[in-house]
Amino acid sequence: MTISKRFGLASSLIATTASLPQVAQASTLDRPHFHVAPMVILWAADDSDGTAPVVVDFIVEDASGVDTDLIAANGRTLLTGSLTATPDAAGAVQRGIEWVVRASGEDLVTIDTLSPAAFSAFSLDDDPRTFARDSNHASAFFAASNTPFSIRAIASVLGSPVNFGLSDIDFESSISSNGIHGGLSYGTSTSNPSITRLPTGRPLSDFTGEGLDVFVASEATAAAPGSIAQQSVKFEVGYIFDTDLNGAFDLADGYGEIQAEFTYTAYVP
Amino acid sequence: MSFSPRLGLSSSLIAAMLSAPQTAHAFNVDRPSFEVPAMVIVWAVDDSAPGDGIKVVDYMAEASDGTFTDLIAADGRTLLTGTLDPTNDFAAGPDTPLGRFRLRDLGDGSTTIVDPSQGSIFTAFDAENAVFDHYREDIDSSNTMYSSQFGVASNTGFKIQATVEEIYATGEFDVRDIKAKLRTHSSANVNGTLIGQKSTNVGVTLFPNATWRHLEYHENSDIVTMNRATATAPGTILEQSILINPRYLIDTSDTLLWGNDGDTHANSLDLSLGAGEIQATVTYTVYAL
């Protein structure tokens, strides 16, 4: 295909020169030109139906520097260690928090706060505590590129929060250049690319408006021929729900609900 | 050449993108959602096993549909004030007699303690200067007052309603003769057990002093309204609790005789109190606000 186009160009040049006098100035020119556009490919799940793993962003920077995503679909992150899409808080499903009553290192009671079940009276002899076992939301997505790139994140509130706000959720992240995720091998054709990330601990309220760059890759992820997965690095992100950042969420943190949308946009700087 | 289709595509997209930020067209989203139910935890002793020590007997949590459910089927029984021991259950045996009276001679200032339950024998005395009234050694040992407590820890405001039922009264007593008063404590040391170090009772409103008749009449009145969580810092359930302290005083007078300082009450109980017996079950029900 590429070769035929080149011949097409050569033919047009011949046509142009055909009208020129057949004098000694005649020359034959060849001006080969190859342009490989910067590209960034993101894959995770399809936001519309949750299917995974699928490439959801194929970003190409054109000659004028404009980045264009050639895939209309929006992506949704994956559950950590799985090829399953994260729950969609914008839908009907809400994420409750598993609550636990623990004394002397033993769980006395675990409570599914979305569907609580009855339990027996329990003793206060060993000073039990009651707190959230897990108040984090962790997810992941992948990127393959032939260019340095950045990923910007913008936060917004969904729905009507009760008692809580974006400032009650902290962002954290990590990067993995190779491994196995949900049985899928990734990163075997990368070479531990240099990627810096935003320091952990920024509240989501810092990400409103223009947002913040959460990842900045100073080189391409792809270091050797391979599949998209093989040339990808994994971005793991987490949202820590803790109103006073004391490492535990318990009665002192109050009650309510908050749903946020955190949008990651990749671009070529 | 091979680039022309791309250029054509790019050109059209450039036109489309001119008015949009160059970073707005590709995105991958995360939608974290956190939901923490309102919870109220009540502790005292298990009414069916009062000798087993203090236990959490109510664990109320708000489900996603807004219903507020007690996840523990057991009923609680209050504690004796200042202890972690269960209050007496009149259903389990005879009630406690009123206690001792004292005979005071206002002429010579002498006092004779009279304990009707012991059948004390004493000598004839001068009726002219005699006063016969209830002998109160201290407020908590006074058998004219019943004082109890239970603990509440919460991450939300809550209210408590009281229901007076199973009333049994003989002689000259009826529900108008029992005065009720409430207190709360945000910090206590009960025989070495620390309670409430990570709690507050700021924001609590208590039902005015009332008789059991009032509580009967105002069956669904909120006797305690707490407009915020008790828990103020991470801690154990005991540390995040406040103590609710109901007290009942037998007093046949027409006025409420609680003292102004909240810890004492007038000691005007004498023969005019009359004779009889009265008992009731007071049920406290906790709701989240």
**Which among A5, A113, A125 is the nearest to B2, CB-wise?**
A5
- For B79-138, write each residue's pLDDT tens digit: 988 899 998 876 655 455 555 667 778 888 887 777 666 666 667 777 777 777 766 554
Q: How far is CA B185 from the centre of its chain?
A: 10
Compute the distance between CA of residue B200 and CA of residue A90 in angstroms, rounded to an integer: 36
Contact B32 A260 (CB under 8 A): yes
Q: Indicate the length of chain B as a whole number.
A: 289
- Mean pLDDT over residues B57-71, rounded? 86
Assess A31–B contact: CB distance below 8 Å, yes or no: no
Cβ distance A144 to A231 under 8 Å?
yes
B229 touches chain A (CB under 8 A): yes
Query: What is the average pLDDT score of chain B?
Result: 77
Query: What does the pLDDT look like over B226-267, one tens digit per residue?
Result: 999 999 999 999 999 999 999 887 776 655 554 443 444 444
Tell me whether residues B31 and A262 touch, CB distance under 8 A.
yes
Q: In this model, does residue B60 exceed pLDDT 70?
A: yes
**DSSP of B135-166:** --SSTTT-TTEEEEEEEEEESS-EEEEEEEEE
pTM score: 0.78
pLDDT recorded at residue A33: 87
Contact A267 B23 (CB under 8 A): yes
* pLDDT tens-digit map of B165-187: 888 888 888 888 888 888 999 99
A75-76 and B28-30 strand pairing: parallel
Contact across the interface for A121 and B71, Cβ inside 8 Å: no
User: Do the chains contact at B14 and A62, CB–CB below 8 Å?
Assistant: yes
pLDDT of residue B21: 39
Nearest to B29 among A74, A120, A122 (CB): A74
B248-257 CB burial, b ≥16 within 10 A, e <16: bbbbbeeebe
Dig out the tokens for A100 from the structure. 């636990």
Residues of chain A with C-beta less than 8 angstroms from the C-beta of B2: 1-2, 5-6
Cβ distance A128 to B237 less than 8 Å, yes or no, reads: yes
What φ, ψ does residue B228 adopt, rounded to 5°? -155, 175
* pLDDT of residue B195 exceeding 80: yes
Distance from CA of A94 to the nearest CA of B (A): 7
CB-count burial class (<10 Å; 0-12, 13-18, 19+) for A116: buried
Interface of A with B in 121-150 (CB under 8 A): 121-125, 127-132, 135, 137, 139, 141
CB A207 within 8 A of CB A262: yes
Q: Is the ipTM of this complex over 0.95?
A: no
Q: Decide if A64 and B232 are in contact by the 8 Å CB cutoff.
A: no
pLDDT at B126 (0 to 100)? 76
pLDDT-flagged residues of chain A (< 70): 1-24, 89-96, 245
Q: Does B29 touch chain A (CB under 8 A)?
A: yes
CB-CB contact of B148 with B225 (8 Å): no
For residue B144, with 0-12 CB atoms within 10 Å meaning exposed, 13-18 middle and 19 or more buried, which class applies? middle
Q: How far is residue A105's CA from residue B35's CA, in Å, rounded to a whole number?
A: 25
Please name the residue of chain A whose CA is at the shortest distance from the CA of residue B51: A123
Is the minimum CB–CB distance between B44 and chain A shorter than 8 Å? Answer: no
Measured CA to CA, the distance from residue A97 to residue B180 in angstroms comes to: 40
CB distance B180 to B149 below 8 Å? no
| Residues B64 and B29: beta-carbon distance below 8 Å | no
Mean pLDDT of all residues in B59-65: 83
- C-alpha of A42 from chain center: 8
Of A5, A67, A259, which has the smallest distance from its Cβ to B1's Cβ?
A: A5
Q: How many Cα atoms are found within 13 Å in the side-chain-facing hemisphere of A237?
A: 30
Distance of alpha carbon B255 from alpha carbon B272, whole angstroms = 14
Residue matched to tokens 């050639």: A70
Give pLDDT, residue B65: 74
- Whether residue A255 and residue B10 make contact (CB cut-off 8 A), yes or no, is no
